Amino acid sequence: MSPQAWINLAYLAASMLFIVAFKLMTGPRTAVKGNYLGGAGMALALAAASAACFEKDVVASVARSGATPLVLLGVAAVIGGVIGAVMAVRYPMTGMPQMVALLNGFGGAASALVAGAELWNMTRRAVETGSERADAAAWAASQLAPWTQFAIATALTGLIGAVTFWGSFVAFAKLEELPAFKKAWTDPKRHWVNLGLAIATALVIWGLCANPGSVALYILLVLLGSGLGCTLTLPIGGADMPVVICLLNSYSGLAAAAAGFVIDNSVLVIAGSLVGASGLILTAIMCRAMNRSLVGVLFGGLGTTSAANADDVYAGKVKSASAEEIAMVLEGADRVVIVPGYGLAVAQAQHAVRELATALEKRGTTVEYAIHPVAGRMPGHMNVLLAEADIPYEKLREMDDINPTFPETDVAIVIGANDVVNPAARTDPQSPIAGMPILDVDKAKTVVVVKRSLSPGFAGIPNPLFAADNTLMYFADGKKAILDLTAALHGA
Amino acid sequence: MPMLVLAPLLATAAGEDPASRFIRLLTVFLLAMWVGFEVITKVPQRLHTPLTSGSNAISGITAVGAIVVAGAMVTGMGTVFGFLALVLAMINVVGGFVVTHRMLAMFNPKKK
């Protein structure tokens, strides 16, 4: 077999490893192995690609100047690897969505750069081949002319890559709650801006197909894609971020697949499309969980706020309780369901919650956790945060599973969750979250809401649950509240 | 020497027309998408975050592309872009796999 055949075989093996890696992601125990196999596949693919350079490396070191590709590549890989490892070890679990957004963005940018580099190389190769001919320039153009498919693939890589990078950057800024990005850009003019950018993008892609070797057009396309990445993500509200993260994840995969079309490399196409599929599935799941269409998330903004005014909803009806009073209620409870929201993670109260659950279980109370699909800020985020606090995942119940059990629940403790327990989603068709599947905590005999104030959640709307007859509000910082509650329970 | 650098271009030009090449890659793309949908719909909700970060790491496969374009050292610009692409893609690869491992370790607490 030729060296190239061996390299292709290694790519095939790497592709198979990726598929098995995804396959093993179905259970927490096998997933560890899956992650190793994914890493092994990546290492194999990178080694094979480097081996392809080895031949050129020798030629370059003999015939050309001092810089050899492998040294150069080694330096780049070490720089990137160290930055990645440091980020991965340092980032807190609460910041996982931001971390994933950043990594997505880097992946997308890398794909756009790969396509750009190949465009440069391709043009040069065509020129070099024809350099001995009298009509060198015309010959080069004729060599590139039939490459419409190449041009389309290059254009798509540049476009998706740029959208992914800038979209991820904006998503990161929103998730980090950087002041400049706190408010969604809801100016109706944005639709015209997007439309203008989209038309310009289409024209440039068309131009690139007509002149497949044009580096200038490619750069213009990447700039337009960068603009689109920003203008498409800026209007999206904080509550919709889980959808955006999934979608960007999908884009980063599709950009890699498109780059595979550009350089004619099947492992890029396979791995990229696996990731693209994964991101699309998660996007669909997130949209369903929020009862929103993808188009609505991307272009709709958050809609107008409901007629319900915070003062009308809360006035005189909110009952506040102390730790001791709540401990007395908990004392008589047989079944307690804890509803954790992102606020719990912000307050770093996961461990305190586990201690409260242990104290309750010692008294013979059943404790379970109700996890809304969009609890946290990315799919499955809350499960990770609770796992970090050693809460066994068997006790974490999914929404459809636990909702029918709320009427038999004595106490539901809502900690740092708001929109996902807002009964307005069921009752008020005017509400911006109307129809969103929620956890029916209001059906529990008693609801305890731990919250610092009556401030609204991501959706920016009041929550009638806080004013319900069976609701006790416990105004305090999440962690301190749970610790006090546990202490009061021990004292009772 | 130029022959070696030009080999990929010539090989494709001689053996396979661009449209066939495109269709071959499209076949691979669609089949892989299909496999992806089949496999990933079976991943439970509680593993969706590790799935996202793990698949994120795999999307760093574009590092292979970076090695190919930078390693060819055909043009200065191509090499610089490839170098930058490899740095970014390796952040994605290493960051993604390490953070996924960190998360999965929490799902499987070791007896202390």
pLDDT tens per residue, range A10-40: 999 999 999 999 999 988 889 999 999 999 9
pLDDT class of A63 with cuts at 50, 70, 90: low
DSSP element (H, E) containing A449: strand A446-451
CA A411 to chain centre: 33
pLDDT at A152 over 70: yes
Same domain, B34 and B72: no
Q: For chain B, report the end-to-end CA distance as a whole number of angstroms.
A: 61
pLDDT at A348 over 50: yes
Give the max Cα distance, chain A: 97
Same domain, B62 and B35: no
How do A411-415 and A335-340 pair as beta strands? parallel
Lowest mean pLDDT among A367-371, B12-16, B23-27, B97-101: B12-16
pLDDT at A203 over 80: yes
Comparison of pLDDT for A305 and A117, the residue scoring more? A117
Cα–Cα distance measured from residue A251 to residue A255, given in angstroms and rounded to the nearest whole number = 6
Total-model pTM: 0.85
Q: Which of A57, A419, A440, A484 is catalytic?
A: A419
Q: Dig out the tokens for B82 from the structure.
A: 């490839």
Same domain, B33 and B63: no
Same domain, B17 and B31: yes
Range of the domain at B71: 45-112
* Pick from A79, A114, A373: CB nearest B85: A114
Q: Give the length of chain A.
A: 492
Q: What is the pLDDT of residue A315?
A: 76
- In one letter, which amino acid is A131? S
Q: What is the pLDDT of residue B13?
A: 46
Active site residue A390: no
Do residue B86 and residue A88 have CB atoms under 8 angstroms apart? Answer: no
Q: What is the pLDDT of residue A189?
A: 80
Task: Report chain B residues whose CB lies below 8 A from the CB of A256.
Answer: 59-62, 65
Do residue A32 and residue B105 have CB atoms under 8 angstroms apart? Answer: yes
Same domain, B62 and B107: yes
Q: What is the pLDDT of residue A202?
A: 92
Sign, CA torsion A292/A293/A297/A299: negative
Q: What is the pLDDT of residue A29?
A: 83
**CB-based burial label for A108 (10 Å; 0-12, 13-18, 19+):** buried
pLDDT per residue as tens digits for the range A395-422: 888 888 899 999 999 999 999 888 889 8
For CATH 3.40.50.1220, the residue range(s) in chain A are 310-491
Q: Which residue of A has its CA nearest to B39?
A: A23
- Range A302-322 average pLDDT: 69
Q: Which residues 6+ apart lie within 8 Å of A45 measured at CB?
A: A10, A11, A14, A267, A271, B61, B64
Same domain, B20 and B75: no
Q: What is the pLDDT of residue A306?
A: 47
pLDDT at B6 over 50: no
Q: From the candidates B42, B47, B64, which should be mutated to test the interface with A, based on the most A CB atoms within 10 A?
A: B64
Same domain, B56 and B33: no
- Range A354-375 average pLDDT: 89
- In one letter, which amino acid is A286? M
Comparison of pLDDT for A64 and A200, the residue scoring more? A200
pLDDT class of A461 with cuts at 50, 70, 90: confident
How many Cα atoms sit within 13 Å of A457 on the Cβ side?
24
Cα–Cα distance measured from residue A267 to residue A22, given in angstroms and rounded to the nearest whole number = 15
Count of structural domains, chain B: 2
- Range A244-267 average pLDDT: 93
For residue A413, the cross-strand partners are A338, A448
pLDDT at B1 over 60: no
Do residue B96 and residue A384 have CB atoms under 8 angstroms apart? Answer: no
CATH 3.40.50.2000 fits A310-491, yes or no: no
Q: What is the pLDDT of residue A345?
A: 78
Same domain, B34 and B57: no
pLDDT class of A289 with cuts at 50, 70, 90: confident
pLDDT class of A214 with cuts at 50, 70, 90: confident
Query: CB contact, 8 Å: B65 with chain A?
Result: yes
Mean model confidence pLDDT for chain A = 85
Sign, CA torsion A259/A261/A262/A263: positive
What are φ and ψ of residue B23, in 5° steps? -70, -35
Same domain, B33 and B72: no
Do residue A103 and residue B40 have CB atoms under 8 angstroms apart? Answer: no
Same domain, B55 and B110: yes
Do residue A110 and residue B12 have CB atoms under 8 angstroms apart? Answer: no
DSSP element (H, E) containing A174: helix A148-175
What are φ and ψ of residue A398, in 5° steps? -80, 160
Comparison of pLDDT for A476 and A38, the residue scoring more? A38
Sign, CA torsion A462/B48/A238/A304: negative
pLDDT class of B58 with cuts at 50, 70, 90: very high
- Range B58-86 average pLDDT: 89
pLDDT class of A145 with cuts at 50, 70, 90: low
> Angle CA(A350)–CA(B49)–CA(B38) in degrees, nearest 5?
145
Same domain, B102 and B70: yes
pLDDT class of A67 with cuts at 50, 70, 90: low
> Angle CA(A98)–CA(A103)–CA(A107) in degrees, nearest 5?
150
* Pick from B18, B62, B102: CB nearest A88: B102
Same domain, B37 and B56: no
pLDDT at B112 over 60: no
Query: CB contact, 8 Å: B20 with chain A?
Result: no
Lowest mean pLDDT among A136-140, A264-268, A348-352: A136-140
Give the 3-state secondary structure of residue A234. Answer: coil
Do residue A278 and residue B40 have CB atoms under 8 angstroms apart? Answer: yes
Q: What is the pLDDT of residue A492?
A: 63
